[in-house]
Copies of this chain bind each other. A is one copy, B any other.
Amino acid sequence: VQGVALPVSGIRWGSASLGIRRPDRDDLAVMAIAEGSTSAVVFTRNRLPAAPVILAREHLALTPPRFLLVNSGNANAGTGALGMRDALTTCRALAMHGGCATEAVLPFSTGIIGEPLPVARITEALPRALEALSDDGWMAAARAIMTTDTVPKTSAVTVSIGGIPVTITGIAKGAGMIAPDMATLLAFVATDATVSKPVLGACLEHAAARTFNRITVDGDTSTNDACSLVATAHAPAPPITEPVGEAYQAFSSAVTEVCRTLAQAIVRDGEGATKFVTIEVGGCPSEGAALDIARAVANSPLVKTALFASDPNWGRILVAVGRAVSPDIDVERLTIHLNGLCVFRDGARAMGLTEEDARAAMAVPEIVIAIDLGSGRYATTVWTCDLSYDYVRINAEYRS
């Protein structure tokens, strides 16, 4: 459920203000993880990852993390060797205060690219963040990791494992990028269930592939994207150690649900977004083909500007489908529906379709574009938003 943040036994968040950009609000958050927890993280696929991504990946391979250290306002990306040293310095400072190995701290940064990380400010603020650590710190942390998101994003569910309820709670920040260079998706999810590390990794990969990797605001992938999943084993539910069976399925579905809620909240809060758009592609010979088509439609500036205008412009959808590289398409079998209204069938505009009906179907803030190739049994869903004047204003005008 969006906007809810249930405590997770074994997880505490503390936040503090670095006093740079926004003295009135926190921009540093620390997650303290109970000993005995397992953790998994998925990182950006961008080939030029930021320093904290490189370091977090190294640390994660060495030892189970005890702290996540998150700052907003500075991405520590495009900062070279200095950026690596700075990230390490902040991890070392937190490890000293927290009484753990430096490798047990994972750093995450979001904000401006190419500026040096404010290391001294971060190390000075760490004791305040640690003092603030609390089971109830999720919502404060959700606010602290925001850059120019307009709302904090949280989600939580409870699910029964072997008859025992466990909690899964997550927070995320998104693609609201009012200041140029700010573009990162960060998500932190935790549960009190007992889950082995390989199974936790499989759950997170599965969830991320179907949620965070199925949203697009503008088709760009940040240098800093990361999503973590921690299992504290504090609940008395039976352990999940194999990626099969009823308990695994229930847990994995619940993790995916929490991630989906967070991912959709990011799209709803996308830059300049006025529409929430679901693109459902079915009848494909493979899931890859469905995804290629869904992404081609979702990232088409022509489709996105038509959505902004509430214009039932199926011609632009047709062009984007035809541009997708994967499959050969039989146009006679292709159908396109806009919010349930068939606009394209039998190779041409649907018989009897009126401009009035089509416009009425689009004149709502949530739009489902359903595309069926009629050539297979694979399907996928992608979520996106429209392209408005405000997108250009937000990304062009701030520094002008």
Contacts and interface: CB of A to CB of B under 8 A. Distances in A.
A301 B113 contact: no
A119 to B, nearest CB: 15
A331 interface: yes
A223 B319 contact: yes
Interface string A385-400: 0011101110111011
A15 interface: no
Interface string A305-320: 1101111011110111
B347 A301 contact: no
Contacts of A88: none
Interface residues of A, number: 67
User: Chain copies in the assembly?
Assistant: 2
B309 A397 contact: yes
Interface in A18-70: 46-49
Interface string A81-105: 1110000000000000000000000
Given A78-B344, A329-B48, A218 B311 contact: no
A373 to B, nearest CB: 11
Most B CB within 10 A of own CB, among A78, A81, A221 = A78
A300 interface: yes
Contact of A48 (B219, B222, B318): B318
A328 interface: yes
A273 B164 CA distance: 60
Interface in A211-225: 218-223
CB-based closest 3 A-B pairs: A113-B315, A48-B322, A80-B348
